[in-house]
Amino acid sequence: MKPSERRKARRLATQAIYQWQMTKDNVADIAQQFALEQDTKGVDLDYFRDLLFGVSVHAAELDGVFSPFLSRPLADLDMVDKAVLRLATYELTRREDVPYRVVINEAIELAKAFAAEESHKFVNGVLDKVVKQLKK
């Protein structure tokens, strides 16, 4: 496992999760579409699938973990921010092999790449509180 391969997997998974949130299409179809249409060279495809399927299966549970720390109702959350928060919360709660600092840093980078200009600060703040809650 190379960190760059996981980073690429997270980028693709964020996009796929966003598409799933927007379209409510079948997750398996989205995964197949991404495998066929996206450049997957250097991507940890197993990790991509784990993130995409894990988030889709556990979305309500993940929302319940981070939504107490939102400054607005979950329904008002930007879809990109929601995708990033769901992905990061999945990693924090289900992927104990990934250090929480890596998860937060990667989520900040995803927010910088895909979300509104100041979203990375919002994502960082929410995830910091999630980590503190999980450590209790």
CATH number at residue 48: 1.10.940.10
Of 1-10, 25-34, 46-55, 81-90, least confident by mean pLDDT is 1-10
Is the C-alpha dihedral spanning 105, 107, 113, 115 positive or negative? negative
Specify the DSSP element, H or E, that contains 118.
none
75-102 mean pLDDT: 97
Domain that holds residue 18: 3-135
Give pLDDT, residue 136. Answer: 83
User: What proportion of the chain, given as a percentage, has pLDDT over 90?
Assistant: 96
Give pLDDT, residue 95. Answer: 97
Give pLDDT, residue 2. Answer: 86
111-133 mean pLDDT: 97
2-12 mean pLDDT: 95
In order, the DSSP letters of 40-91 are: -TT--HHHHHHHHHHHHHHHHHHHHHHGGG-SS-GGGS-HHHHHHHHHHHHH
Q: Higher-confidence residue: 77 or 136?
A: 77
Give pLDDT, residue 66. Answer: 98
**Residue 1 reports pLDDT greater than 80:** no
- The total domain count for the chain is 1
pTM of structure? 0.97
Mean pLDDT of the chain: 96
